[in-house]
Amino acid sequence: MPLICLVRHGQASFGADDYDVLSDLGREQSGCVGEELRRRELRDPLVVSGTLRRQRDTAALLAEAAGYDAPAAPDARLDEYDHVDLLQRYPGEAEGAGSRQVQQLLDGALRSWIAAGDADGWPAFSTGAVAAVRDLAAGLEKGRDAVVVSSGGVIAAVVASLLGAPADAVVALNRSAVNVGVTSLIAGSTGLTLLAFNDHAHVTGPRRALLTYR
């Protein structure tokens, strides 16, 4: 059965003019997860990502470090939601400062967005993310695995759909996703099955300095 590894992109540039650029640490993380995937000896893996720069660059660096072929054409259904727009549409209050405050605000905005249930909102985003992964699985040749580089919201949407999890679980999954964490799915005759969520052993121990959440 094909194994599909969903990889969250490396650390982006929080607080910079252009968030969608990998930080120097994010680039190092991308190479690190590539080395980890090479160690796992995936079978002729197809690498694909969303269209966002941080996703595409992570995919390219990952593939280079792992010795894989260059990533295939990106799939926009794997793009992350616009967190800036979400925070503007659903403003809230939070304690603390910096990234912690932003995370609290984002949790609330994401929860409100899911609860709103607008046809072109969370349902469309979630359905598109799941369909992208299912379409990829259906198109894989026998004996071939895949690596999907995306973002926390997309991965949370896919995992929540497979588990039938409620909105609060989506928010929790999204919050706990680490940069370059690996979520593994098995594509079998009955569909996709979650094997592991947010595996990040490759950024622990001597590489603990590479562990980031945003």
Mean local confidence (pLDDT), 90-115: 82
> Where residue 35 sits, what CATH number does that domain have?
3.40.50.1240
Residues linked to residue 4 through DSSP beta bridges, in sequence order:
146, 185
- Evaluate whether residue 101 is within a structural domain: no
Look at the chain and report how many structural domains it folds into: 1
- Evaluate whether residue 133 is within a structural domain: yes
Which pLDDT does position 214 carry in this prediction? 81
- For the cut 80, the answer to whether the pLDDT of residue 14 exceeds it is no
Which domain range does residue 159 map to? 3-80+126-210
- Evaluate whether residue 90 is within a structural domain: no
What does the buried/exposed string (b/e) look like for 69-85 if buried means 16 or more CB atoms within 10 Å of the residue's CB?
Answer: eebeebbebbbbbebee
- Evaluate whether residue 88 is within a structural domain: no
Which pLDDT does position 17 carry in this prediction? 64
- Evaluate whether residue 72 is within a structural domain: yes
pTM: 0.94
- Evaluate whether residue 66 is within a structural domain: yes
Q: Give start and end residues of each alpha helix (H) in the chain.
A: 24-39, 53-66, 83-89, 98-116, 122-139, 152-163, 167-176
Q: Find the farthest-apart pair of alpha carbons in the chain and give their distance in angstroms, rounded.
A: 51
Which pLDDT does position 83 carry in this prediction? 87
Confidence category of residue 94, pLDDT binned at 50, 70, 90: low
Residue with tokens 């370059």: 180
What is the SS3 assignment for 132? helix
* C-alpha closest to that of 7 among 198, 144, 170: 198
- Evaluate whether residue 99 is within a structural domain: no
- Evaluate whether residue 206 is within a structural domain: yes
